């Protein structure tokens, strides 16, 4: 799931104390009566206008105006006393609001009855205790009353717990995306992520083909030409020896470029030495100083290691080639099941997040449900941050 934060996709909660929740439940009983009386009074008053097609729209607007105010009150109650946090820019339809208030009012009325029974039970318990202190009750009557009161108390508390969970669920579905909406959004994200991965793989294949054609193939052709000239010039030992030395140097350059292409395809050090050593190889091959901080205590999944490596490799390569940077810092930290990768350079900035390299990184990170951020104002510095879930 992509985005800057997950707070826009689902309802968030912060811990709240039981006294706060208890006050919220009692206030919920009061607001339920407000909703019930509102529907009863306004519904009766606007009933004829709601039934007539010519006045239905205006009457519905009047009904919705009060319903939205009651909804704001309910949202504030959930936020203050239960610690719920809802998406700020989520638009709730009128039908959803009316359905929420109707169900919420009925559930709140039932909750009022349960709370009243609980209060009545507390009064009866006080009367029972007073009778015991006065000595007017026999022990078998006391035992029977205690057993019956305990059973009723258990049922009462279970009813309150269930109604509280229903209240929370109703609020989540009204003030935030419902489970069906979240599921549809997740399907869209997965489809987009799959398409992005396909594009990234195709772009990577084209880049490898271009590297082989424009780089290695040209060096192989040059090496063959030098060897051919050396073979034809065997009559001149000095010239032949110079051509052999040139061919030897060409073969070394060819081998170095072949290793570079192989590392860009997949670094074998990830399998043999791990992510830390592979990042050390990136620092060694970079033409500018790279300072690396690596704080990973446990073992990482292989896809996460690979994605983290390519994020660092691409960011460091861009800094060395395009940003005129003189220093790069890399920080890799594992906290709370999320691998955070940050690469910062002191270059001129202005990196284009939609460029081929960074867009490919975005697709690679998104395929793991991660987040990639690029902060590169004109004048620098450039900071690339990736968050990769390890679950």
- Asked whether the predicted pLDDT for residue 46 surpasses 50, the reply is yes
Confidence of residue 220 (pLDDT cuts 50, 70, 90): confident
Mean pLDDT of 332-353: 86
Q: What are phi and psi of 5, to 5 degrees?
A: -160, 160
Contact 264, 211 (CB under 8 A): yes
**Beta-carbon count within 10 A of 176 CB:** 20
Does residue 186 form part of some domain? no
Confidence of residue 2 (pLDDT cuts 50, 70, 90): very low
DSSP assignment of 249-265: HHHHHHHHHHHHHHHHH
Does residue 348 form part of some domain? yes
CA distances from 264 to 1, 115, 173, 268 (A): 27, 67, 46, 10
Residues 237 and 152 in one domain: no
Residues 169 and 205 in one domain: no
Q: What pLDDT does residue 178 have?
A: 64
- Asked whether the predicted pLDDT for residue 266 surpasses 80, the reply is no
**Poorest-pLDDT segment among 114-123, 239-248, 257-266, 283-292:** 257-266
Residues 293 and 361 in one domain: yes
Residues 284 and 240 in one domain: no
Mean pLDDT of 147-158: 86
Mean pLDDT of 186-210: 74
Mean pLDDT of 14-43: 86
Cα angle: 81, vertex 84, 88; to 5 degrees:
125
What is the domain-level CATH number for residue 383?
3.30.565.10
- Asked whether the predicted pLDDT for residue 39 surpasses 60, the reply is yes
Sign, Cα dihedral of 24, 30, 33, 37: negative
Does residue 94 form part of some domain? yes
Does residue 64 form part of some domain? yes
67-76, 85-94, 225-234, 273-282 — most confident range: 67-76
Question: Parallel, antiparallel, or unpaired: how do β-strands 12-13 and 371-375 relate?
Answer: unpaired
> DSSP 3-state assignment of 4?
coil
CA atoms within 13 A on the CB side of 38: 22
Q: What pLDDT does residue 342 have?
A: 92
> DSSP 3-state assignment of 343?
strand
Length of the chain measured in residues: 391
Confidence of residue 12 (pLDDT cuts 50, 70, 90): very low
Residues 279 and 355 in one domain: yes
Residues 221 and 206 in one domain: yes
Does residue 311 form part of some domain? yes
- Asked whether the predicted pLDDT for residue 110 surpasses 90, the reply is yes
pLDDT above 90 coverage of the chain, percent: 8
Q: What pLDDT does residue 6 have?
A: 38
Cα angle: 62, vertex 66, 69; to 5 degrees:
145
Nearest to 172 by CA among 63, 79, 61: 79
Torsion of CA 186, 187, 192, 198, to 10 degrees: 120
Enclosing domain of residue 107: 6-177
CA atoms within 13 A on the CB side of 191: 6
> DSSP 3-state assignment of 74?
helix
Q: What pLDDT does residue 265 have?
A: 65
Q: What average pLDDT does the structure give for the chain?
A: 81
Cα angle: 331, vertex 291, 2; to 5 degrees:
25
Confidence of residue 240 (pLDDT cuts 50, 70, 90): confident
248-252, 279-283, 341-345 — most confident range: 341-345
Contact 209, 192 (CB under 8 A): no
Instruction: Give the pTM.
Output: 0.50
Cα angle: 78, vertex 84, 90; to 5 degrees:
95
Residues 119 and 140 in one domain: yes
Question: Which is more confidently placed, 290 or 194?
Answer: 290
Residues 106 and 48 in one domain: yes
Q: What pLDDT does residue 263 have?
A: 62
- Asked whether the predicted pLDDT for residue 1 surpasses 60, the reply is no
Mean pLDDT of 190-202: 72
Residues 35 and 155 in one domain: yes
Q: What pLDDT does residue 255 have?
A: 80
Mean pLDDT of 12-26: 77
Mean pLDDT of 300-311: 86
Q: What pLDDT does residue 356 have?
A: 66
Q: What pLDDT does residue 57 have?
A: 85
Contact 277, 269 (CB under 8 A): yes
Confidence of residue 136 (pLDDT cuts 50, 70, 90): low
**Beta-carbon count within 10 A of 305 CB:** 23
DSSP assignment of 154-169: HHHHHHHHHHHHHHHH
Residues 173 and 208 in one domain: no
Q: What pLDDT does residue 144 have?
A: 76
12-16, 131-135, 162-166 — most confident range: 162-166
- Asked whether the predicted pLDDT for residue 307 surpasses 60, the reply is yes
Structurally, the chain folds into a number of domains equal to 3
Q: What pLDDT does residue 10 have?
A: 40
Q: Which residue has the tokens 């670094």?
A: 267
- Asked whether the predicted pLDDT for residue 16 surpasses 80, the reply is no
Does residue 189 form part of some domain? no
Residues 244 and 283 in one domain: no
Confidence of residue 341 (pLDDT cuts 50, 70, 90): very high
Residues 251 and 334 in one domain: no
Task: Outline where the chain has alpha helix (H).
Answer: 18-51, 53-82, 94-134, 139-175, 179-211, 217-232, 237-265, 269-272, 275-285, 302-321, 356-366
Mean pLDDT of 279-308: 84
């Amino acid at each position: 799931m992509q985005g800057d934060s997950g707070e826009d996709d689902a309802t968030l909660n912060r811990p709240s104390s039981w006294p706060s929740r208890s006050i919220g439940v009692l206030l919920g009983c009061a607001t339920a009566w407000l909703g019930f009386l509102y529907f009863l009074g306004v519904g009766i008053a606007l009933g004829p206008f709601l039934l007539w097609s010519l006045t239905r729209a205006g009457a519905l607007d009047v009904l919705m105006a009060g319903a939205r105010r009651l909804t704001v009150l309910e949202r504030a109650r959930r936020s203050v006393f239960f610690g719920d946090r809802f998406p700020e820019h989520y638009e709730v339809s009128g039908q959803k609001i009316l359905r929420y208030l109707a169900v919420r009012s009925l559930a709140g009325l039932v909750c009022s009855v349960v709370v009243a029974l609980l209060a009545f039970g507390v009064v009866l318990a006080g009367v029972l205790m007073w009778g015991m202190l006065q000595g007017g009750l026999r022990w078998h009557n006391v035992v029977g009353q205690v057993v019956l009161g305990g059973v009723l108390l258990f049922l009462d508390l279970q009813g309150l717990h269930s109604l509280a969970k229903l209240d929370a669920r109703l609020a989540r579905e009204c003030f935030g995306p419902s489970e069906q909406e979240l599921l549809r959004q997740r399907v869209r994200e997965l489809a987009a992520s799959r398409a992005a991965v396909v594009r990234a793989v195709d772009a990577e294949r084209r880049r490898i083909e271009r590297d082989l054609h424009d780089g290695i193939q040209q060096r192989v052709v040059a090496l063959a030409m030098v060897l051919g000239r050396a073979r034809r010039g065997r009559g001149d030992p000095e010239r032949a020896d110079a051509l052999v030395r040139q061919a030897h140097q060409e073969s070394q350059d060819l081998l170095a470029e072949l290793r570079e292409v192989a590392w860009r395809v997949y670094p074998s050090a990830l399998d043999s030495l791990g992510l830390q050593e592979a990042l050390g190889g990136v620092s060694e091959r970079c033409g500018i100083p790279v300072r690396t901080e690596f704080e990973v205590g446990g073992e990482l999944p292989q896809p996460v290691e690979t994605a983290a490596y390519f994020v660092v490799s691409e960011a460091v390569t861009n800094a060395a080639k395009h940003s005129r940077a003189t220093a790069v810092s890399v920080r890799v930290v594992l906290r709370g099941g999320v691998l955070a990768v940050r690469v910062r350079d002191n270059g001129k900035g202005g990196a284009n997040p939609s460029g081929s390299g960074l867009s490919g990184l975005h697709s690679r990170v998104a395929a793991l449900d991660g987040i990639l951020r690029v902060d590169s104002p004109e004048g620098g510095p450039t900071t690339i941050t990736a968050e990769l879930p390890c679950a």
